[in-house]
Amino acid sequence: MRQPYPFSAIVGQEDMKTAFLIAAVDPSVGGILAFGDRGTGKSTAVRALAALLPKIKAVEGCPYNCEPSSPAHLCHACQDEGRKHPKSALRPAPVVDLPLGATEDRVVGALNLERALAHGEKSFQAGLLAQANRGFLYIDEVNLLEDHLVDLLLDVAASGVNVVEREGLSVRHPAQFVLIGSGNPEEGELRPQLLDRFGLAVEVRTPQEVPTRIEVVKRRDSYERDPEAFLEHWASAEKKLRNRIVSARTGLSSVATPDSAVETATRLCLALGSDGLRGELTLIRASRALAALEGKAEVGEAQMRRMAPLALGHRLRRNPLDEQGSAARVQRAVEEVFAA
């Protein structure tokens, strides 16, 4: 497998890139949905993100990527070890692909077939959800995923815990991951329940300006012709971006969220009539993460303006007659709320 295309070399698509970076800084914003035109580099961006993310510290050999420093969140295996200071190692942050043909047993985990056949032992073989713990789970063409798998994912994504009760096994393990879905609305719409599970939704449009399009094609072509040289060229930009993520993560807790920002978020959601509190929470979290990325000390109007369409656009009640789409509605509400 060749090295993925560098994240910093992606031309345009600012919303999508920002959304990914925000999820990298604060996974609690929930999943990212990138929906839109074909050939706009959605998959490329996800693979690029995998290469960009800083490595994580995890208990050595743990199938769930347990974090050694928080004993409360250790998986059953690591707890059983009974050691105060489990040995830890750096490993790449998981960005796990959920391929469309995956079967349920591989997604949630199941009886380990090999051990069962060879030794007659009952043991649990962790699935993709386990691998994705503390990382990202990526589903390309998410609207083509089978419904029973979607239901299962929703359940786990909401609780952060994967409960397996099958083949005589009873296992619980942490499964906290950021769900990244991409797809094209022409293949079918997403169910509203699934839509709501994504924290941020980005509408990916193909760039319209010819110079941008030329730049995209140029970079892609030079990457395909000589990947090593291309990566070399972008290495320092990648490193800079990675450092920005790391410092934003440390700075996140010190970013102040003034009461006025929370009030603005609430007023926005009221104006848009979006149900539930998920919208407000996501908007605040995403704006905070953006402020951290930008090195700001507190959440300001600029961040909220930027994040409102991404955090709220997909939570609006659909109006099939509104040609302008939800982004424009959010924009209008933002103008009204900030003008008041």
Partner 1 sequence: MTEGDRRAPGRDGRVSDGDAEVSGGGGQVSAWERACIAAEAFALAPLGCGIIVRGRPGPVRDAWLKRLRAVLPRDAPFRRVPAAIADDRLIGGLDIPATLSAGRPVAERGLIAEADGGVLVIAMAERLPAGVAARIAAVLDAETVTVERDGLTLTEPARIGFVALDEGCDEDEAPPAILVERSAYFVDLDRVGIRDVQEEADGLDCDEARARFAALAVEPSALETLVNVAAAFGIASLRAPLFALRAARAIAALDGADTIEDSHISLAAALALAHRATRMPADADDSDDAAEEPPEQQPEDEREKDPSDGRNEEQKKLEDVVLDAIAASMPANLLARLEAGAKARAKAAAHGKAGDHQISMRRGRPVGTRPGLPREGRIALVATLRAAAPWQPLRRREHGTTGTARIHVTPDDLRIVLHHEKRGATTIFVVDASGSSALHRLAEVKGAIELLLADCYVRRDSVALIAFRGKDAEIVLPPTRSTARARRRLAGLPGGGGTPLAHGLDAAAVLAGQIRRTGQTPFVVLMTDGHANIARDGHAGRPKALEDAIDAGKRLAAAGVASLAIDTSAPSRHRDSATTLRIAQAMGADYFKLPVADSARLNAAVRKSAQRLQG
Which active-site residues does the annotation give?
278
Residue 91 within binding range of partner 1, rule CB under 8 A? no
- Which of 28/324 has CB closer to partner 1? 324
Binding mask 2-21 vs partner 1 (x if CB under 8 A, - otherwise)?
x-------------------
Residue 294 within binding range of partner 1, rule CB under 8 A? no
Question: Of 143, 162, 287, 303, which lies in the binding site for partner 1, with binding defined by CB under 8 A?
Answer: 143
Strand partners, 126: 109
Residue 214 within binding range of partner 1, rule CB under 8 A? yes
Binding mask 57-76 vs partner 1 (x if CB under 8 A, - otherwise)?
--------------------
Span from 58-66, 105-113, 268-276, 278-286 in contact with partner 1 (CB under 8 A) = 105-113
Cα distance between residue 34 and residue 195, in whole Å: 11
Residue 321 C-beta: closest distance to partner 1, Å: 6
Compute the Cα dihedral for 264, 270, 273, 275 and give only its sign: positive
* CA-based end-to-end distance of the chain: 54
Residue 325 within binding range of partner 1, rule CB under 8 A? no
Structure tokens at 100: 């469309």
Q: Which amino acid is at 180?
A: I
Residue 125 within binding range of partner 1, rule CB under 8 A? yes
Burial class (CB in 10 A: 0-12, 13-18, 19+), 133: buried
Q: What is the DSSP string of 164-231?
A: EEETTEEEEEE--EEEEEEE-GGG-PPPHHHHHHEEEEEEE----SHHHHHHHHHHHHHHHH-HHHHH
Residue 233 within binding range of partner 1, rule CB under 8 A? no
Q: Count residues contacting partner 1 (CB under 8 A)?
A: 64
Which of the 8 DSSP states describes residue 64? Answer: T
Residue 41 within binding range of partner 1, rule CB under 8 A? yes
Residue 221 C-beta: closest distance to partner 1, Å: 6
Question: Of 3, 14, 28, 38, which lies in the binding site for partner 1, with binding defined by CB under 8 A?
Answer: 38
Which of the 8 DSSP states describes residue 284? Answer: H
- The number of residues making up the chain comes to 340
Cα distance between residue 272 and residue 39, in whole Å: 32
- Which of 72/321 has CB closer to partner 1? 321
Q: In the complex, which residues of this chain contact partner 1 (CB under 8 A)?
A: 1-2, 37-41, 43, 47, 97-107, 110-114, 116-118, 120, 122, 125, 128, 140-141, 143-144, 146-148, 166-168, 184-189, 206-210, 213-214, 216-218, 220-221, 318, 320-321, 323
